[in-house]
Amino acid sequence: MTVRVGIEKLRVYPGSLVLAMSDLCAARGHDIANIRDTMMVDERSLNVPWEDPVTMAVNAANPMLSKDDRARIGLVIVASESGVDQEKPISTWVQRYVDLPSRVRNFEVKHACYGATAAIQLAASWIASGAAQGQAALVINTDESRKHLNAPWEFVLGAGATALLISDNPAVLEIELGESGIYTYEVSDLTRPTSRVETGNSETSLLSYLEALDGALDDFLARRPEAANLDAYFKRQIYHLPFGGMGYLAHKAVLRRLGISGKGDAWDSFIRKTQPSLHFVRRMGGTYGSSIFIALMGLIATDDKLHPGDRIGFFSYGSGCCAEFWSGQIGASARTAAEPAELRRLLDARRRLSVDEYEAVEVARDAAIDQCTRGIDQNILGDWYDVHYKGKGLLIFSGVQEYYRQYAWS
């Protein structure tokens, strides 16, 4: 008997701060039309100094899980390129602060923005194998950008975490196991060579992304030749989105394979097949491996023509690199299952920062990295801690003592 496997629940934690691109462009003397219309970014999420990838992971997962959910989780995988420790995985903090059983196998994976897709494929295969015996898996992607004040790519950075419950009840999305194409080769495009530095060659990364898309799609079509008419085979297509406009560049590359190269035809196809997935992405900026799942939430929330059983094509790319083009079908109760995530409400609840406040927060976050002992200033944004955190039961990062990270409930 074939086991149906996929996403039962998902939730995004977008942080509590937001920077409007109109404000940043005005401060930097940059053309807002380039960011809004070409890069397709309207806002970007930011972290307060008392949040980090650990707190985001926990704050994404906790509201999503019922007591019964926690009891049946047997596997936790956290994907991140923003790890806070060279040895201790984020997954151990997740196990503790999400109050999961002691029998939970857990670990952290790293492959740039591909890590989350690798994790859900591994988790789905574990469930389908029968070894899970009725258990579920919790997969989380959690990432934040480093400080990049006045850098050319400052406009497309961001932060956020996505938690996904993977089980044999794919209410949101059924993953079509084995329906995927892989492409990998070594390239040094983007890198985080130290705990503070996030750098690379954006042109190399763009070319590598497009080459990997082509290669992964070739492998997918070799396995599924009946999908050669991609427009008919997939109702919608989601691409890894380091910034919203990358979805348009990727979709144009796919269309060229179908002989569609006219600007008008390409744009019309993009609007129909991919543009709805940018709804929430445009408000968060770069979210690393979370981007395709935030895009899925955008489709579910805004696309009235999307129905249970509709097939979605996903493309995930991770610098370094590995890419996967994979297939899933919208679950029978996708909208009902996604509604409790309330992503729109969470985005609206963020505090809009001035550029001066944004710069102060980024300097404060950067100053805490690699410190032996350091406290966290909860007054850097006036009363924001009291307004948004105090008494709300969110996990916060409270500082470092002799290199040991300290966490507490707000």
Catalytically annotated residues: 81, 113, 240
- Please give the DSSP secondary-structure letter assigned to residue 387: I
Contact, 121 vs 91, CB < 8 A?
no
How many helices (H) and strands (E) the chain has is answered by: 16, 17
Q: Which of 291, 304, 326, 6 is nearest to 172 (CA)?
A: 6
Please state, as a whole number, how many other Cβ atoms lie within 10 Å of the Cβ of residue 57.
31
Tokens, residue 74? 């047997």
Q: How far apart are CA 337 and CA 132, in angstroms?
A: 23
- Please give the DSSP secondary-structure letter assigned to residue 171: S
The DSSP secondary structure of 124-166, one letter per residue, reads HHHHHTTTTTT-EEEEEEEEE----TT-TTGGG-BEEEEEEEE
Q: Could you give the 3-state DSSP secondary structure of residue 154?
A: helix
Contact, 284 vs 14, CB < 8 A?
yes
Contact, 333 vs 204, CB < 8 A?
no
The DSSP secondary structure of 281-328, one letter per residue, reads HHHHB--GGGHHHHHHHHHHHH-TT--TT-EEEEEEEETTTEEEEEEE
Q: Could you give the 3-state DSSP secondary structure of residue 131?
A: coil
Contact, 145 vs 159, CB < 8 A?
yes
Greatest C-alpha distance within the chain: 61
Q: Could you give the 3-state DSSP secondary structure of residue 230?
A: helix
Contact, 275 vs 350, CB < 8 A?
no
Q: Which of 217, 285, 203, 277 is nearest to 247 (CA)?
A: 277
**What is the Cα gyration radius of the chain?**
20
Contact, 289 vs 116, CB < 8 A?
yes
Q: Buried b / exposed e across 73-106, counting CB within 10 Å, b at 16+?
A: bbbbbbbbbbbbeeeebbbbbbbebbebeeebeb
Contact, 187 vs 321, CB < 8 A?
yes
